[in-house]
Amino acid sequence: MTTGAARRSEPIGSLDSLISTEVETDSRVPFDDAVVGNLRAPRRARSHAPEHGAGERSRRRGWFLRRLLAGADLCAIAAAVLVTEWTATRISGTPFTTQLTEVGVFLATLPAWIVAAKLYGLYDQDDERADHSATDEFASVFHMITVCTTGVAALCYLTGLAHPRVDKLLVFWAASIISICCGRGIARACARRSSWYLQNTLIVGAGDVGQRIARKLLQHPEYGIRLVGLVDAEPKERRADLEHLTIVGAAHELPELVCRHDVERVIVAFSNSADTEMLELMRRLKDLDVQVDVVPRLYELVYPGVDLHTVEGVPLISLPQMGLSRSSLAVKRGFDILVASVALVIAAPFFLLVAAVIMLDSRGPAFFRQTRMGAGERMFSIIKFRTMVADADARKHEVAHLNHHSAIDTRMFKAADDPRVTRVGAFLRRTSIDELPQLINVLRGDMSLVGPRPLILEEHGYVVDWARDRLRLKPGITGLWQVLGRSDIPFGEMIQLDYLYVTSWSLGGDFKLIAKTFPHLFSSRGATR
């Protein structure tokens, strides 16, 4: 959520109750134990004086992560070299000692790999984006490894220091990509357990947008950002689930609040202050070395893939035209057929096992069919593993009071701890195994691997006007709604996410969403039970 195509969307999380001496004793900032992260040690106190801000603030999340990731990259490249030489020794039978020259050349280039990674921006995104992950940087890692491997090989041949074979270069190339991605994932997992990873954050603007961001970001304590409070001179009444958040001051007090609460990130979400006042405040914040994120106007239409350009120094955001070309649709459909076909063949024995367990656990069929609305408003029958008792639809009125969207948006029904769910069904839902038979729908052409959420007819009746464009693409097994929170996201926001997906589709985006889906298979967050 930053100026320039909204490239950053930093979820807000939690913080230890011991941040610094000033914050700990500030009675205006209560600490909510419900969102305290699993941290082993409190963050050390730091000076809040503006004249010391830049020097001290540099040794925070960015300072810590850059060094941790650089160390991980060095270890990954060294490991790839050793794996390559070990593989070559096993295949060719050549003694390892004869390959020491090649090993030495590759190890000597390690500093150059770090410089290359820096040039590719692989050490900067984590500081700016709290939700940055390996899937976001895979393309950059792939490109960097390809270019650098070619460069090292050319250096070896031109200087005559070594003559690595093509097969060894290919092994090193593949091993480097895998080891760097894995190493960075491990480094980030370790970083999130450290107090250095934490960031105090203020949201400027306590209106609908500011509160919406706060609610969304508080759902992600794993990102290690602690929401100190809201900044607004005329705040709107807070939602029930945000009553614990404190209004810490007005916008004109922002520089003082940043120093007082040791703030590292400020999110500007449609403040009531005049634009000239906010511009001056943002410039003053830059002197304090604070990460500033700005929610753009018309943010519902601005997604990560939009193009930013300038006309005589004035930035413009270009929104692409609605609709996919025939070639794009053909590529998407071809990818769906290939993956669904292979997955169904591999998973067939597993399907039989799950079906047998479902039928042994409760009376009724193994599969559940339901009419959903598809692309072009054509209805189809979705196929899932049955997770509820056979008469679940007839008993829906009995659990209406359990709908956890009733206080926000009643257009979508999602009941937590639904008594109609069977024992086996609860497990299938937590792991999303119940969704696997939808691969049959994908193969038949009713659905896609990635796409908008397939709505039941009752929910589709609430989709009107511009939102109907969500059905320009086929519904998907996974998508933005499933990856970003599933049942935690109310109906209105889900429709906006579907519209965002359709208007910003790319094959690379589908790959990222599929990759981000796998971690959610092992997480119960947002899954109804």
Spans of all domains in the chain: 21-43+198-318, 62-191, 326-521
pLDDT at 424 over 90: yes
Task: Specify the range with the lowest mean pLDDT, choosing from 27-36, 62-71, 228-237, 243-252.
Answer: 27-36
- pLDDT, greater one: 90 or 365: 365
Rounded CA separation 165/92 (Å): 12
| pLDDT the model gives residue 404 | 61
| pLDDT the model gives residue 272 | 67
> How far from 521 is each of 93, 138, 244, 352, 427, CA to CA, in Å?
43, 21, 31, 20, 11
**Phi then psi for 57, rounded to 5 degrees?**
-65, -25
Segment 253-271 shows an average pLDDT of 87
Q: Cα 218 from chain centroid?
A: 14
Largest Cα separation within the chain, whole Å, is 79
**Sequence-separated (6 or more) residues with CB below 8 Å from residue 473:** 324, 332, 375, 448, 451, 452, 501, 502, 505
Rounded CA separation 401/390 (Å): 21
**Phi then psi for 241, rounded to 5 degrees?**
-85, 0
pLDDT at 369 over 50: yes
Task: Specify the range with the lowest mean pLDDT, choosing from 269-283, 379-393, 421-435.
Answer: 269-283
Amino acid at 31: F
Average pLDDT, the chain: 79
Q: How many alpha carbons fall within 13 Å on the CB side of residue 327?
A: 0
pLDDT at 152 over 80: yes
pLDDT at 73 over 80: yes
| pLDDT the model gives residue 64 | 85
Q: Report the run of H or E that residue 484 belongs to, with start and end.
A: helix 480-484
Q: pLDDT digits over 473-489, tens only? A: 999 999 988 888 766 77
Q: pLDDT digits over 447-458, tens only? A: 999 999 999 998
pLDDT at 20 over 50: no
Q: What is the SS3 assignment for 75?
A: helix
Structure tokens given for 478? 């996974």
- In 3D space, the residue among 499, 505, 450 whose CA is nearest the CA of residue 471 turns out to be 499
Quick check: 498 and 452 in contact, CB under 8 A? yes
Q: Report the run of H or E that residue 383 belongs to, with start and end.
A: strand 379-385
Q: How many CB atoms lie within 10 A of CB 422?
A: 20
Helix (DSSP H) and strand (DSSP E) numbers for the chain: 18, 11
Segment 163-181 shows an average pLDDT of 90
Q: How many alpha carbons fall within 13 Å on the CB side of residue 138?
A: 15
Q: What is the SS3 assignment for 247?
A: strand
Rounded CA separation 302/299 (Å): 5
Quick check: 198 and 43 in contact, CB under 8 A? yes
Q: Report the run of H or E that residue 227 belongs to, with start and end.
A: strand 225-231
Structure tokens given for 387? 């997770």
Residue 183 exposed, middle or buried by CB count within 10 Å (0-12, 13-18, 19+): buried
Q: Cα 166 from chain centroid?
A: 37
Quick check: 385 and 434 in contact, CB under 8 A? yes
Q: pLDDT digits over 288-337, tens only? A: 878 888 888 777 667 666 667 777 777 777 776 666 778 888 999 999 99
* Backbone conformation region of residue 161, classed left if phi is above 0, alpha if psi is from -120 to 50, else beta: alpha
CATH 1.10.1740.10 assigned to domain 21-43+198-318? The reply is no
| pLDDT the model gives residue 433 | 92
Quick check: 228 and 48 in contact, CB under 8 A? no
Per-residue three-class SS string for 286-346: HCCCCEEEECCCCHHHCCCCCEEEEECCEEEEECCCCCCCHHHHHHHHHHHHHHHHHHHHH
Residue 49 exposed, middle or buried by CB count within 10 Å (0-12, 13-18, 19+): exposed
| pLDDT the model gives residue 51 | 38
pLDDT at 269 over 50: yes
| pLDDT the model gives residue 487 | 66
